[in-house]
């Protein structure tokens, strides 16, 4: 049995008539970065809240850091909620120390660690600034630092990249990797595939309150065949008959799905027919494509709208 930081089976949550989460199973290995992906309203936040014990599931079981009672583990968990919240009149250092104190870290230790964390995140100059003076991105980073100040074994981040500019997104990615390198397990939700693709070892794709996929990023991408782009030395219309039926001709190049038995025999045929090879590239599908395939185009549109916003 794998060493799991978080596990859940058959989680169900209803809000009145609406079923927000309908039988979610999750297994997050210790020491890894795990992504929960899904379009808006898929049930990601509700699932995370149930895993943390903020709300109780109507059905199902979950364990957090080996305990069936997640609230008992709260001092070993860091959490960044989707709706960011800080006291605007608190100084950055105090805000971080306060979040540590909530998780059992003495104030004096929290203040010292806060200073170090702010320095390492490039926010040392703002240590004694009040939160209301910070930009949205800086405030979000401060809250993230507050969620790691007590060196948690598990870090749960709900849509952490939302609202950050590219520079701060990069900082956040570095921080997540640093937490993983320290030995923490990182579980985060997102609907932006690029972050998950760069960071995650394992992912879970949720849509409509159910898990549609769980596994490695590579396994998700392997659900779709690779695509090839072939440029002949001598282009001719009869090439189309030799390529798979989905082949498209654009600007002297042919794009098509790589056959299940490989591309080698096809290339031999093309060379023997005298068309030669001027260029050839094989692209593995990205997580974005796998996500669209798994959850459907409607879900992608939702995700794209949100990402654009």
Partner 1 sequence: MSTARFLRQALTIARRDITATVMTPTFLLFLLSPLLMISFGVIGSMSATSAASSGEARQRLIVIAPDAQRERIVRIDRELRRVFTRDDVRPKLQVDRANGDSARQARALFDDAAIEPTAILYGPMERPTIVRRVGAKAEGRYLAVLAAQLLRAERAGDAVTSTPRFETVGREVPSESGKGQSAYFATLGIFFLTLMLSGQAVGAMAEERSNKVIEVLAAAVPLESVFFGKLLGAFGSALLFVGFWGTLLVNLPRLLPPDVAGFVSNLGVAVGPLFPLLFIGYFVMSYLLQSAVFLGVGSLASTQREIQMLSLPITIFQFAMFGLASYAAGNPQSQVAAVAAIVPFSSPMTMAARAATIPALWPHLLAFVWQALWVGITLTIAARLFRRGVLKSAGPKRRRKAPA
Minimum distance, C-beta of residue 7 to partner 1, in the bound complex (Å) = 19
The 10 Å CB-count burial string (b at 16+, else e) for 2-25 is eebbbbbeebbbeeeeebbbbebe
Minimum distance, C-beta of residue 42 to partner 1, in the bound complex (Å) = 8
Number of residues that bind partner 1 (CB under 8 A): 36
Minimum distance, C-beta of residue 264 to partner 1, in the bound complex (Å) = 44
The 266-305 site mask, x for binding partner 1 (CB under 8 A), equals --------------------------------x--xx--x
Question: Which parts of 145-184 interact with partner 1 (CB under 8 A)?
Answer: 146
Minimum distance, C-beta of residue 121 to partner 1, in the bound complex (Å) = 19
Taking CB under 8 A as the criterion, the residue among 99, 114, 200, 206 binding partner 1 is 99
Taking CB under 8 A as the criterion, the residue among 66, 67, 88, 274 binding partner 1 is 88
Nearest residue (CB) to partner 1, 83 versus 272: 83
Minimum distance, C-beta of residue 25 to partner 1, in the bound complex (Å) = 21
Nearest residue (CB) to partner 1, 160 versus 285: 160
Nearest residue (CB) to partner 1, 18 versus 251: 18
Question: Which parts of 48-77 interact with partner 1 (CB under 8 A)?
Answer: 52, 54-55, 71-72, 74, 77
Residue 253 backbone dihedrals phi, psi, to 5 degrees = -120, 155
Q: Which residues contact 112 (CB under 8 A, 6 or more apart)?
A: none
Q: Which stretch binds partner 1 (CB under 8 A): 24-32, 80-88, 259-267, 272-280?
A: 80-88
Nearest residue (CB) to partner 1, 199 versus 299: 299
Geometric angle at alpha carbon 300, from 9 and 308, rounded to 5°: 115
Q: Does 89 bind partner 1 (CB under 8 A)?
A: yes
HEC profile of the chain: CCCEEEEEEEEEEEECCEEEEEEEEEEEECCCEEEEECCCCCCHHHHHHHHHCCCCCCEEEEEECCECCHHHHHHHEEEECCCCCCCCCCEHHHHHHHHHHHCCCCHHHHHHHHHHHHHHCCCHHHCCCEHHHCCHHHHHHHHHHHHHCCCCCEEEEECCCCCCCHHHHHHHHHHHHHHHHHCCEEEEEECCHHHHHHHCCEEEEEECCEEEEEEEHHHHHCCCCCEEEEECCCCCCCHHHHCCCCCEEECCEEEEECCCCCCHHHHHHHHHCCCCCCEEEEECCCHHHHHHHHHCHHHHHHHHHHHHC
Taking CB under 8 A as the criterion, the residue among 11, 24, 26, 86 binding partner 1 is 86
Minimum distance, C-beta of residue 15 to partner 1, in the bound complex (Å) = 6
Question: Which parts of 19-48 interact with partner 1 (CB under 8 A)?
Answer: 20, 40-42, 46
Taking CB under 8 A as the criterion, the residue among 1, 2, 3, 18 binding partner 1 is 18
Residue 246 backbone dihedrals phi, psi, to 5 degrees = -85, 10
Q: For binding to partner 1 (CB under 8 A), which residues are involved?
A: 15, 18, 20, 40-42, 46, 52, 54-55, 71-72, 74, 77, 79, 81, 83-90, 98-99, 101-104, 143, 146, 298, 301-302, 305
């Amino acid at each position: 049995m794998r060493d799991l930081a978080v596990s859940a089976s058959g989680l169900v949550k209803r809000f009145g008539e609406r079923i927000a989460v309908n039988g979610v199973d999750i297994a997050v290995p210790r020491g890894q970065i795990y992504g929960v992906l899904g379009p808006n309203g898929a049930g990601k936040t509700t699932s995370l809240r149930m895993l943390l014990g903020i709300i109780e599931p109507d059905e199902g079981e979950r364990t957090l850091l080996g305990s069936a009672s997640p609230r008992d583990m709260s001092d070993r968990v860091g959490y960044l909620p989707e709706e960011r919240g800080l006291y605007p009149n608190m100084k950055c250092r105090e805000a971080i120390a306060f979040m540590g104190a909530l998780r059992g870290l003495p104030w004096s230790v929290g203040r010292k660690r806060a200073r170090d964390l702010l320095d390492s995140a490039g926010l040392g100059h703002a240590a004694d600034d009040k939160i209301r003076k910070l930009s949205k991105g800086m405030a979000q980073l401060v809250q993230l630092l507050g969620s790691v100040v007590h060196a948690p074994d598990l870090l749960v981040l709900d849509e952490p990249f939302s609202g950050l500019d590219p520079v701060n997104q990069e900082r956040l990615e570095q921080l997540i990797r640093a937490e993983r390198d320290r030995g923490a397990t990182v579980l985060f939700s997102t609907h932006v595939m690029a972050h998950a693709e760069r960071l995650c070892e394992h992912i879970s794709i949720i849509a409509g309150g159910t898990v549609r996929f769980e596994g490695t990023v590579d396994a998700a991408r392997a659900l779709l065949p690779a695509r090839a782009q072939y440029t002949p030395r001598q282009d001719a219309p009869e090439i189309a008959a030799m390529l798979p039926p989905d082949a498209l001709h654009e600007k002297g190049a042919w794009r098509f799905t790589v056959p299940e038995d490989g591309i080698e025999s096809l290339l031999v045929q093309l060379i023997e027919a005298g068309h030669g090879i001027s260029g050839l590239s094989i692209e593995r599908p990205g997580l974005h494509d796998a996500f669209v395939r798994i959850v459907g185009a409607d879900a992608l549109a939702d995700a794209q709208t949100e990402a654009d916003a």
